[in-house]
Amino acid sequence: MLGVSQVSPNKGSQKNYLSVNSLNTVVVQRPYVSAQAFQQADSVHFGSTANTKQIPDVLIKNRKEDFITPSPHQYYHQWLWDAAFHAIVLSHYDVDMAKKEMNTLLKAQWPNGFVPHIQMDPKVVKEYHPNAQDWATGRNTSGVTQTPMIAAAIREIYQQAGDKEYLKQTLPKVLKYHQWLKSDREIQQDGLVAIIHPWEPGSDNSPIFDSLRNKLWEQHYRDVKLPFTRVDTKHVDPSQRPSDKDYQVYWGLVEAFQKTGWDQAKMAETSPFAVADPMFNAAWAQANQDLAYLYEQIDDPKTADTLKSWAEQTKKAMNDQMWSEEASVYYAKDLRSGEKIPVKTSNGLLPLYAGVPNQHQAKKLVATMMDPDAFKGHYGIRGVDKSEPGYDPKNYWRGPSWINIHWFLVNGLKRYGFDKEAAEVTKKAKDLVAKEGYREYYHPDTGTGLGAKDFAWSSLVHIL
Ligand code: 2M8
């Protein structure tokens, strides 16, 4: 049965009020999450009895028939990594609801194992572009994938529910997805998987992609005409969204993929954009560790060993090819030119989550993360190092703080025993949500909520 929150968000009130958050600091709260709702959702972690657990309101509010939308004001469909984050949170409150989110996601899988980054709700056509008609994949989905968080979500569900039958039904699909990624996207056959579109890592307009975007725009995509009018700037200030030039490149790549007839292998072979992103590859390394753990639970050590060896290969390749000792961060790598892309972003801190760095590298990464002149803002960890020329604290993936990134970082810090830092980053994330509500992203230094409102994955704070 689906749990229903009885606490409605205190949206009408304009009054700010003080409350004591979970770490016993007084924070000023603004209208989006009532103090009661925040604390009832948070009680899951802070030791109250199971009866007082309350699903974060945002997950109830954004609920559609079969899945949860990232935000009812901006994103009307189901996205791959959003769904995984929703399921990770839900598994702590209502495991059936978490399973449903993942089952819906896996229904979008193509016969070759590929899982698309968006599965469209056919009832909503004009509100979001590109829609299924624009993509023209012949399915109700996009044709590119997204940061592989599926195995992490299934692991979390299993750890909460202990349901082996569920694993037996679900794991073959997840394995097929991993086999697809390995065979179509490991273009150098060395453990690193390529993203072939800036939508794939999910950090769409990250400054990591600036130089490549400029080059592709100059060479191929300056005359690209979008077959739709952008609606993403309707609910969110355009200065906090990707530029029109970004969209021309995004769409130019989609048109190139359409010409292959959505042949995934050909797309990877021919895409002018092929990058090893440190966040995507960290998630991939951890996904193989998670899937290996799950195969062990259903007594298939052979598959588990294969997956472990894939994870080790990725870790090694990341350390050999993406680590910068000088910058104390992992860089992305352009797989067409073979060059590192020397831009410091929080994507480059994420290998900590997957156990990629050794102790020496981990120490250096954490020092970078906690340096106020680099990543540590007064309110949140910045998405981009402050000293980068492309840093913009209000624009989407160019600098703001994201709650899912805090979740990755806290898990990574705990994994390496940096407990003090993990507590500090946790507190930042909780204070941001308590202060501004479940926003899509936040200004790292003023704490102002930015982007879409009622953004579901920001409920990850409750399981930190
Ligand atoms: C954002 O991406 C979509 C395109 O996929 C968009 O801008 O319309 C990104 O933040 C992405 O990471 C996220 O999964 C998606 C839905 O929240 O929105």
The DSSP code sequence of 256-277 is HHHHTTS-HHHHHHH-S--EE-
Q: Is 76 in the pocket of ligand 1 (CB under 6 A)?
A: no
138: left (phi over 0), alpha (psi -120 to 50) or beta: left
C-alpha span between 13 and 133 (Å, rounded): 41
Does 38 contact ligand 1 (Cβ within 6 A)?
A: no
- Mutate which of 59, 68, 74, 75 for ligand 1 pocket (most atoms within 8 A of beta carbon): 75
Sign of the C-alpha dihedral, residues 368, 369, 375, 377? negative
**Annotation says 263 is catalytic:** no
CA Rg value for the chain: 21
Q: Which residues contact 363 (CB under 8 A, 6 or more apart)?
A: none
Note down the domain range covering 116: 56-463
Q: How far is Cα 305 from Cα 332, in angstroms, rounded to an integer?
A: 28
Whether 51 is covered by a domain: the verdict is no
Q: Is residue 24 assigned to a domain? A: no
199 lines ligand 1 (CB under 6 A): yes
CATH at 111: 1.50.10.10
357 found inside a domain: yes
Residue 352 belongs to some domain of the structure: yes
Global confidence as pTM: 0.91
Are 7 and 57 in contact by the 8 Å Cβ rule? The answer is yes
Per-residue pLDDT 10s for the chain (464 aa) are 223 333 232 223 333 323 333 333 333 333 356 677 777 787 655 444 444 578 999 999 999 999 999 999 889 999 999 999 999 999 999 999 999 999 999 999 999 999 999 999 999 888 899 999 999 999 999 999 999 999 999 999 999 999 999 999 999 999 999 999 999 999 999 999 999 999 999 999 999 999 999 999 999 999 999 999 999 998 889 999 999 999 999 999 999 999 999 999 999 999 999 999 999 999 999 999 999 999 999 999 999 999 999 999 999 999 999 999 999 999 999 999 999 999 999 999 999 999 999 999 999 999 999 999 999 999 999 999 999 999 999 999 999 999 999 999 999 999 999 999 999 999 999 999 999 999 999 999 999 999 999 999 999 999 99
Asked if residue 3 is part of any domain, the answer here is no
Ligand 1 contact, 79 CB (< 6 A):
yes
User: Residue of the nearest CA to atom 12 in ligand 1?
Assistant: 202
The total domain count for the chain is 1
Q: Is the Cα dihedral 432, 436, 437, 439 positive or negative? A: negative
Say which of 57, 101, 184, 204 is annotated catalytic.
Answer: 204
* 9 lies in some domain: no
- Structural domain includes residue 6: no
In a domain, 376, yes or no: yes
Is 204 among the catalytic positions? yes
Residue 397 Cα: closest atom of ligand 1: 10
